[in-house]
Amino acid sequence: MLRITSSEAVDAAEQAADGLYVLISATTHLESYSWLSSFTAAQQDAQKAALQAPLETLLGDAEAVLAKHPHYIQRPVSVPEAELA
């Protein structure tokens, strides 16, 4: 059982209900127009492909840095919180 005890909780419940409505509507469209499924899959593949090359480059660069500095893996460095801000 869900208890709504404040106006903020009502707003959150309304947002959740709106989100569910959007998902139900999307599902209905995907069932009605099956060609949309292949289109959405193609979009996801394109997004993945767009990220793949930069990530491979990043990982290659990281491997080179780690090869030069293996002591950072063996003995991790602690950085004070103040230095990260």
Structure confidence by residue, pLDDT tens digits, 22-34: 999 888 888 888 8
In-domain check, residue 39: no
State residue 1's pLDDT score. 58
With respect to residue 31, please indicate whether it lies within any of the assigned structural domains. no
Domain span holding position 64: 44-76
Classify residue 67 by its DSSP letter: H
Does residue 35 fall inside a structural domain? no
Asked if residues 27 and 36 have their Cβ atoms less than 8 Å apart, the reply is: no
What's the pLDDT at 15?
Answer: 92
Q: What is the DSSP letter of 23?
A: H
User: Is a pLDDT exceeding 90 seen at residue 20?
Assistant: yes
Residue 50: inside a domain? yes
pLDDT tens profile 33-70: 887 777 777 778 888 888 888 888 888 888 888 888 88
Of the chain, the percentage scoring pLDDT greater than 90 comes to: 12
pLDDT band at 5 (very low <50, low <70, confident <90, very high): confident
